[in-house]
DNA sequence: GAGTGGTCTAGACCACGAC
DNA sequence: TCGTGGTCTAGACCACTCG
């Protein structure tokens, strides 16, 4: 009838979602307990649990022990942005990937980099600046600082052959990260690299990653003019 | 020893993750089948399944029936951006929320709006333009088009009292959406509203949402100068 | 055809948290 | 205290897909 048996977790998921959408269960309201729903739908409580858990993950339901399960008052949409290898990001647009190292070396960190990584103001880090190309044209300018204490191998890598992005991803485990998206002017220094002009707005993304408590790397990506970040939810 | 029993799904999850990080199981390699891991860890196959499923969701593992489970070659990071009610977004920054309707009415859609919604070029839509304030200062300029066919009630709502954002969220179910983030100049028309100047770069977010196959609304949000979108992964 | 993950079940115990 | 979701178990059948 509804296209899916109600005794599978997906079936229960869809049926519960339908009842929420059609206001059978209204925002803020408690819905029946798992055991009752299991009986209603003629399935095991485990099955109901998995369905409700999925709905809670997606923000439609709020669950608390003892209190029960209620329909979220203000469902919070969650847009997932995939953060792939830069090479794949460019190839995913159907373009031929190119990479060029600008310069690299161990030097005193800028205050901004040290702060982002939560390290001492006067620490020494490895900086790698590079440009990523799509079909030969500049796509992304990369300015990266690497904490050698967390990624010792980086000191001896030849970043003209492998991008820091690829090398780190394959050689240094990461447990968590933060991302910040902003709109900026193309700094004078990078204007010629990106083939832009000083007044054009660009998307900038800053990513900081940690391995446990140790900060690994902080990278600032400056995208080509007109680049958009897309996502679905 | 490791801080968590290995016979819970979280325990298995962490232990598998550890083995991947420490290269016990290398990128691209097959890991043992569920039944074998269950025996190894002294737990039920269900428990292992849940742990591996979570790791597959987060992009660390790739699973296929018959083939087995392998460590992802290029783990794709997934950054989750929460898309709350605009009011909550502003209050979440510790600011007092304010809202002001600029104008609204049913009119022929702009070509861009019609295209974004996948509707006929000459369709009539309801437009709502408003400004969202934080501590009395402009935070977000909102330019929205509503498909009255998908949200009939919208025609009679007084948007000076309720923001379109809040009304839609509470009254029109949404099954999926798309989001696009870009960097733009503040258009001349909105310069004074946001208290910005013409040359400053701003973050712009366009969101389109559907209910099933029916397009519901398309909104363009222009953020205050210096606004950043944050996310964790 | 056969191996692997995907899922369901019926039952059980536990942990949180409202009262 | 005790109701509710969170989880584990042992077993079973199914669906996909590789060879």
pLDDT digits (tens, 9 = 90+) for A147-206: 999 999 999 999 999 999 999 998 998 999 999 999 999 877 777 777 777 788 999 999
Write the DSSP string, chain A.
--SS-TTSHHHHHHHHHHHHHTTSS-TT-EE--HHHHHHHHTS-HHHHHHHHHHHHHTTSEEEETTTEEEE-SS--EEEEEEE--HHHHHHTTT--EEEEEEEEEEEEPPHHHHHHHT--TT-EEEEEEEEEEETTEEEEEEEEEE-TTT-GGGGG--TTTS-HHHHHHHHS---EEEEEEEEEEPPHHHHHHHT--TT-EEEEEEEEEEETTEEEEEEEEEEPTT--EEEE-
**pLDDT-based confidence at residue A3 (cuts at 50, 70, 90):** low
Q: Which residue is nearest to nucleotide D6 (CA to C1')?
A: A65
Q: Break chain A down into helix, strand, coil percent, rounded to 5.
A: 30, 35, 35
pLDDT for A197 equals 76
> Longest Cα pair distance anywhere in chain A, in angstroms?
68
Using CB atoms within 10 Å of the CB of residue B225, give its burial: 0 to 12 exposed, 13 to 18 middle, 19+ buried.
middle
Output the pTM of the full model.
Answer: 0.91
d(CA A193, CA A198) in angstroms, rounded, equals 12
Write the DSSP string, A153-195.
GGGG--TTTS-HHHHHHHHS---EEEEEEEEEEPPHHHHHHHT
d(CA B76, CA A89) in angstroms, rounded, equals 10
Question: How far is Cα of residue A179 from the mean position of the Cα atoms in its chain?
Answer: 7
Q: A132 - beta bridge partners?
A: A99, A140
Q: Find out whether B166 and B87 touch, Cβ atoms under 8 Å.
A: yes
DSSP B154: G
Structure-block tokens of residue B119: 């509707």
Q: Is the CB of A69 under 7 A from strand C?
A: no
A45 CB contacts (<8 Å, ≥6 apart)? A34, A35, A38
pLDDT digits (tens, 9 = 90+) for B67-105: 999 999 988 889 999 998 999 999 999 999 999 999 999
Q: Where are the alpha helices (DSSP H) in B141-230?
A: 164-171, 188-194
pLDDT for B112 equals 95
- C1' (C16) to CA (B45) span, angstroms: 26
Identify nearest nucleotide to residue B66 by CA to C1′ distance.
C4
Average pLDDT in the B47-74 region? Answer: 96
Q: Find out whether B77 and A205 touch, Cβ atoms under 8 Å.
A: no
Q: Is the pLDDT of residue A85 over 70?
A: yes
Q: Chain C bases under 7 Å from protein CB?
A: 2-12, 15-18
pLDDT digits (tens, 9 = 90+) for A34-80: 999 999 999 999 999 999 999 999 999 999 999 999 999 988 889 99
Of A81, A88, A201, the CB nearest to B79: A81
Query: For A81, which residue in chain B has the nearest alpha carbon?
Result: B79
**pLDDT-based confidence at residue B189 (cuts at 50, 70, 90):** confident
Query: Rounded to 5 degrees, what angle do the CA atoms A191, A197, A198 make?
Result: 80
Taking the CB of residue A94, how many other CB atoms lie within 10 A of it? 8
- Give the residue from B131, B223, B132 showing the smallest Cα distance to B184: B223
**pLDDT-based confidence at residue A2 (cuts at 50, 70, 90):** very low
- C1' (C1) to CA (A85) span, angstroms: 40
- Quote the radius of gyration of chain B (alpha carbons, Å): 24
Query: For B231, which residue in chain A has the nearest alpha carbon?
Result: A179
A74: chain B residues, CB-CB within 8 Å? 84-85, 88, 169
β-pairing, A201-211 with B30-31? unpaired
Q: Which residue is nearest to nucleotide C19 (CA to C1')?
A: A66
Q: Chain D bases under 7 Å from protein CB?
A: 2-12, 15-18
Would you call B77 an interface residue with chain A, using a CB distance cutoff of 8 Å? yes
- The helix or strand, by DSSP H or E, that contains position B203, with its residue range, turns out to be strand B201-211
CA distance, residue A106 to nearest chain B CA (Å): 26
Q: What is the mean pLDDT of chain B?
A: 93
B226 CB contacts (<8 Å, ≥6 apart)? A182
CA distance, residue A53 to nearest chain B CA (Å): 13
DSSP B155: G
Query: Rounded to 5 degrees, what angle do the CA atoms B219, B224, B228 make?
Result: 90
Of B83, B169, B204, the CB nearest to A233: B83
d(CA A134, CA A140) in angstroms, rounded, equals 9
Q: How far is CA A89 from CA A133, A165, A180, A223, B183, in A?
A: 11, 12, 18, 12, 19
Would you call B226 an interface residue with chain A, using a CB distance cutoff of 8 Å? yes
DSSP B147: -
pLDDT digits (tens, 9 = 90+) for A7-26: 899 999 999 999 999 999 99
Compute the CA torsion angle B165, B169, B173, B178 (nearest 10 deg).
50
- The helix or strand, by DSSP H or E, that contains position A114, with its residue range, turns out to be helix A111-117
Q: Find out whether A145 and A117 touch, Cβ atoms under 8 Å.
A: yes
Of B77, B179, B201, the CB nearest to A231: B179
Q: A178 - beta bridge partners?
A: A208, B232
Q: B181 - beta bridge partners?
A: A229, B205
pLDDT for B2 equals 47
């Amino acid at each position: 009838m509804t296209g899916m048996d109600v005794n599978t977790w997906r079936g229960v998921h869809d049926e519960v979602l339908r009842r929420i959408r059609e206001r059978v269960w209204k925002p803020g309201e408690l819905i029946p307990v798992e055991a009752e729903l299991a009986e209603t739908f003629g399935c095991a409580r485990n099955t109901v649990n998995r369905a409700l858990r999925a709905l809670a993950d997606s923000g439609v339901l709020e669950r608390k022990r003892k209190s029960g399960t209620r329909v979220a008052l203000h469902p919070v949409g969650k847009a997932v942005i995939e953060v792939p290898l830069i090479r794949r990001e460019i190839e995913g647009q159907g373009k031929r990937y190119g990479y060029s190292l600008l310069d690299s070396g161990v030097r005193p960190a800028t205050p901004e980099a040290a702060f982002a990584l939560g390290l001492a103001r006067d620490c020494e880090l490895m900086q790698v600046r590079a440009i990523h190309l799509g079909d030969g044209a500049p796509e992304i300018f990369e300015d990266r600082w690497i904490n050698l204490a967390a990624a010792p191998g980086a000191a001896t890598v030849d970043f003209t052959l492998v991008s820091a992005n690829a090398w780190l991803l394959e050689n240094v485990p990461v447990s968590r990260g933060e991302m910040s998206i902003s709109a900026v002017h193309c700094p004078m220094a990078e204007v010629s690299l990106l083939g832009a002009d000083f007044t054009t707005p660009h998307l900038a993304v800053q990513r900081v990653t940690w391995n446990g408590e140790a900060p690994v790397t902080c990278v600032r990506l400056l995208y080509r003019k007109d680049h958009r970040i897309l996502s679905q939810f």
